[in-house]
Structure 1
Amino acid sequence: MLGPVMASAGFPRAFLNSRPDGLPTIRAEAPDPRKVLADLTKSHEDFKASYDARFGDMQAAYDGLQKQLAAAGMQPGTDLSALPVDPEYTRTFANWMRRDDGEQELKRANASGERAVIRTAMSSGSNQDGGYLAPVEWDRQIHKALRLESTLRNVCSVVSTTTGGYSTLWNLGGWGSGWVGETANRPQTTTATLAPITFKAGELYAQPAISQNLLEDAGLPLEDWLATEVADEFNKQESVAFVSGDGVNKPQGFLSYFGTTTTLHPGGEPSVTNSGAAAAVTGDGLVKLVYALGARYRANGAWLMNSSSMGAISQLKDGQGNYLWQPSLILGQPPTLIGKPVYFEESMPDITAGAVPIAFGDWSRFYVINDRVGTSLLRDPYTAKPYVLFYTRKRVGGGILDPRAVRFLKIAA
Structure 2
Amino acid sequence: MDATTLSANFEARERATAELRSLTEEFAGKEMDADARSKETALLGAIADYDGRIKRGIEVLKSGESVSALMAGLNGTGSAKAKRETQDKLAQAAEQLRSLKINEGLTFAPEAPESRAAIDTKTNPGNTTFGRTLYGRLLAQAVERSTIMRGGATILTTSAGEPMDFTVVTGRAAASIVTENAAVPESNPTTVQRSVGAYKYGYASTLSTEFVQDQALDLVSFLVGDAGPAIGAGMGAHFLTGTGTNQPRGIITAGAPATATFTPTAKDATVSDALIDLFYELPSSYRASAAFVVSDKVAAQMRKLKDGQGQYLWQSSVIVGAPDTFNGRPVLTDVGVPDDKVTFGDLSKYTVRLAGPLRVERSVDLKFLNDQIVYRFLQRADGLLVDERAVKVLTVKAGA
1:87 Cα deviation from its structure 2 partner: 4.9
Q: Secondary structure at the match of 1:291?
A: helix
Per the alignment, in what secondary structure is the counterpart of residue 388 of structure 2? coil
Q: Give the distance between the partners of 2:76 and 2:306, measured in 1 at CA.
A: 46
Q: CA deviation at 1:307?
A: 2.1
Structure 2: 5+ residue runs without aligned partners? 1-68, 111-132
Distance 2:91 2:330 in 1: 43
Q: Relative contact order (C-alpha < 8 Å, sep 6+): which is higher? A: 2
- Normalising by structure 1, we get a TM-score of 0.63
Q: Distance in 1 between matches of 2:337 and 2:197?
A: 23
| Match of residue 117 from structure 1 | none
Displacement of 1:398: 0.7
SS of 1:251's equivalent in the other structure is coil
Q: Who is 1:363 aligned against? A: 347
Does 1:150 find its partner at 2:135?
A: no
From 288, 291, 295, the counterpart of 1:299: 288
1:133 alignment counterpart = 107
Offset at residue 208 of structure 1 (A) = 0.9
Aligned residue for 1:309, secondary structure, equals helix
Q: TM-score, normalized by length of structure 2?
A: 0.65
Contact 1:171 1:195 in 2 (8 A): yes
Taking the aligned partners of 2:76 and 2:195, their CA distance within structure 1 comes to: 42
Give the one of 368, 378, 383 matched to 2:366.
Answer: 383
Q: CA deviation at 1:383?
A: 2.6
Matches for 1:52-91 after TM superposition, within 5 Å: 71=73, 87-88=87-88, 90-91=90-91
Q: Secondary structure at the match of 1:204?
A: strand
CA distance in 2 between partners of 1:188 and 1:212 (Å): 73
- The counterpart of 1:247, out of the listed 244, 247, 254, is 244
Q: Deviations over 1:16-67 (max 9, x none)?
A: xxxxxxxxxxxxxxxxxxxxxxxxxxxxxxxxxxxxxxxxxxxxxxxxxxx9
Letter of the aligned partner of 1:274 in structure 2? T
2:260 maps to amino acid:
T
| 8 Å contact kept, 2:158–2:354 | yes
The equivalent of 1:317 in structure 2 is 306
SS in structure 1 at match of 2:240: helix
1:160 to 157, 162, 165: 157
Between the two proteins, the alignment pairs up a number of residues equal to 299
Equivalent residue for 2:260, pick from 273, 286, 289: 273
Query: Kindly, what percent of the aligned residue pairs are identical?
Result: 23
Deviation at 1:160, TM superposition (A): 1.6
One of 202, 221, 224 as aligned partner of 1:224: 221
Distance 1:348 1:162, change over 3 A: same
What amino acid maps onto 1:349 in structure 2? Answer: P
Q: 1:205 aligned to 2:202?
A: yes
Query: Counterpart of 1:108?
Result: none
Against the structure 1 CA distance between its residues 141 and 191, is the aligned structure 2 distance closer, same or farther, given a 3 Å change threshold? closer
Task: Find the structure with the greater CA-based Rg.
Answer: 1
State the superposition RMSD in angstroms. 3.5
Q: 1:291 to 1:83 in 2, by over 3 A?
A: farther
Secondary structure at 2:312 match in 1: coil
Q: Give the alignment of 1:30-41 within 5 angstroms.
A: none
Alpha carbons 1:150, 1:235 under 8 Å: kept: yes
SS in 1 for 2:260: strand
Shift of 1:198: 0.6
Question: Which residue of 2 is the match for residue 347 of structure 1?
Answer: 336
Question: Corresponding residue for 1:409?
Answer: 394
Q: 1:217 to 1:306 in 2, by over 3 A?
A: same
1:167-206, aligned counterparts within 5 Å? 167-171=165-169, 179-182=177-180, 184=181, 186=183, 189=186, 195-206=192-203
Decide whether aligned partners of structure 1 residues 97 and 202 sit closer, same or farther in structure 2, where only a CA change above 3 A counts: same
